Structure 1
Amino acid sequence: MSLEEREREYSPSSCIGGEYAPFIDDYRRLSVAAHAAHPPASYRYGSKSTQTLDVFLPEVASGKPALLVFIHGGYWQELSKDDSAFAAPYCLANGIALAAINYTLAPKATLDEIVSECVEAIDWLTTFASVVGIDPNRIFVSGSSAGAHLAAMVALKRRSIRGAVLVSGIYDLGPLTGTSIDRPLKLSSRTIRENSPLLEEIESFPPSLIAWGEIETSQAKKQSQAFAAHLVAAGTRCQSLEVSKRNHFDVILDLADPGTALGAKVHTLISKGTI
């Protein structure tokens, strides 16, 4: 594809008339409400001021709850954990804990550093599970857009992850080269090779749900379809789901809502530990 074609195909808002701010407003509005109704515990998982996370804990009769970790999108350049709590009420109502992770955004951090921070956050949650109040053997990772890429990288690097929910992700970074998305990232051939899950040999990957919205660009859909096929070819238990009438920005709002096609499958994955 030409640069102009790639610019369009990897601009998610091109399918919705270019205006995505109302969806970001929804993330923030719902997250503010979740924080008010269910105040989380906040922790620092690293030495940087940006290396923080919030944990929302449900009340459970006995034992420690499973944890769904959410890594936000924004093409590695926007948003934060404060915009990422919209799934908390659904998780808590079903006895699941939710962790929303913050990470240093580009260009203040390279993509290598961003991936390392997300892995560090998972390591911290696993090490301090008893302090946090979650089951270290039932940690599931999820993410949207760039967050799905980061969740996939975490699942590749940490075998302790019990399952992955990857929504509208980018799994081969090569097509981003030279686009406006690449300007703060400054992707090199090495960075692309070492941070593209689709280019990795899959030796061990947890049961996974790969989802995307019906209203997305053809290349965005192909990225998800290709990675799902890559996982299946490697013997990973994996399901794919195109969510009807949803776009790149609002599909993630279904993440933990058991009344939706995506949310129902997420709850099945967490309750059974498999797809």
Structure 2
Amino acid sequence: MTDLLVHKLAEEAALPRTQLDVDYNARATVTVDRFDEIMAQANAISQKALAHYATFKDVIYDELSQQKLDISGTVAGELRPAFIFIHGGYWKALSKEESSFMAGFLQAHQVASVAVEYTLVPQASLREIVRQVRASIAYLWQHGREHGIDPNRLYVGGSSAGGHLAGCVIAGGWQAEFNVPDNVIKAALPLSGLFHLAPIANCFAQEWLNLTSADVKALSPAENLSSQGCPIIVAYAEGEAAGFKRQSIDYHQSWLDAGFKSEIFEIKGRNHFDIVLDLADPDSLLGQALLRLIADNPS
């Protein structure tokens, strides 16, 4: 990271708790009715997509935790690129069941999709959640061919806490332990993510995360950039809470400063929760950006 970015992140972490509580309260950016409507819509689209396109359901990817993933859009006798989506929910809510909304759209373009489950806080620490998500990538690298996935064409994305976890997947320093190559992920699309955890450790989310200073350093994607970063597209919603906007902009800049490829989009007319629905829309800016990210970064 540049000295300027380090300074900016340190300044943010030092903001008063009352300010950070506002800046990272995504839930306060929409009404209760709108939130419920978005969640119902995401679930309905995902369940319909799973019913039509799921090819492998509830695949155990990690023997230690027994966590599972769903694979959609594969075809017998063919290896397809795969977009791996990691759900949000501040690491304590939601599941893979609401996370296959892009399956139909991608299947139409010969791209498989994978929805990853992980143990939620407080049943697991954030360190364990990160380990599980990285284990899902290792599983797809090692066993993807058994499920119609080309392990040399893995792409990752996620929203909110899932954006953080996608950042942890493209961070450096973990790949050797999991026996995967440093470039196991060819490109990434983090949405409304959290990439520096110091402000999170100083706001209301610390009540369930219980992050130590060592956790903050080890689990912040912005502090653990890979030596060979893949191309990324960072996106956030126009109606985003201020902290999520700042983190997206700073992460994009840190990627550029490291000499890697990054684009950034503010998605107009969307909020922290409904931005993901654009991944089900082939005509949306985000949907087209995802297709381009995959097409432009083959194995």
Tell me the TM-score normalised to structure 2 length: 0.87
Answer whether contact 1:212 1:248 (CA < 8 A) is retained. yes
**Cα pair distance change 1:48/1:200, threshold 3 Å:** closer
Could you tell me which amino acid in structure 1 is paired with residue 114 of structure 2? A
The reply to whether residue 131 of structure 1 matches residue 146 of structure 2 is: yes
> Could you say which residue in structure 2 is the equivalent of 1:53?
69
The reply to whether residue 8 of structure 1 matches residue 22 of structure 2 is: yes
- 3-state SS of paired residue (1:106): coil
> Could you say which residue in structure 2 is the equivalent of 1:231?
255
Q: Deviation per CA, 1:210-241, whole angstroms, max 9, x where unpaired? A: 00001112221110000000000101111101
Q: Pick one of 98, 108, 131 that aligns with 1:93.
A: 108
Q: Deviation per CA, 1:55-95, whole angstroms, max 9, x where unpaired? A: 002448x7411000000000110011111111111111111
> Could you say which residue in structure 1 is the equivalent of 2:233?
209
> Could you say which residue in structure 2 is the equivalent of 1:261?
285
Answer whether contact 2:54 2:70 (CA < 8 A) is retained. no
* 1:256 shift after superposition: 5.0
* C-alpha distance in 2 between matches for 1:182 and 1:23: 26
Answer whether contact 2:24 2:242 (CA < 8 A) is retained. no
For structure 1, the 5+ residue unaligned runs are none
Answer whether contact 2:55 2:74 (CA < 8 A) is retained. no
Matches within 5 A, 1:241-260: 241-260=265-284
Answer whether contact 1:58 1:93 (CA < 8 A) is retained. no
User: How many residue pairs were aligned?
Assistant: 273
Could you tell me which amino acid in structure 1 is paired with residue 88 of structure 2? G
For structure 2, the 5+ residue unaligned runs are 1-14, 176-182
Matches within 5 A, 1:1-275: 1-17=15-31, 20-42=35-57, 43-48=59-64, 50-59=66-75, 63-157=78-172, 158=175, 159-273=183-297
- 3-state SS of paired residue (1:70): strand
- Structure 1 vs Structure 2 CA RMSD: 1.7
* C-alpha distance in 1 between matches for 2:224 and 2:27: 28
Moved beyond 6 Å, runs of 4+: none
Answer whether contact 1:50 1:103 (CA < 8 A) is retained. no
Q: Deviation per CA, 1:129-151, whole angstroms, max 9, x where unpaired? A: 11011111100011000001001
Could you tell me which amino acid in structure 2 is paired with residue 121 of structure 1? S
* C-alpha distance in 2 between matches for 1:59 and 1:240: 33
* C-alpha distance in 1 between matches for 2:211 and 2:219: 10
**Cα pair distance change 1:136/1:163, threshold 3 Å:** same
* C-alpha distance in 2 between matches for 1:118 and 1:70: 10
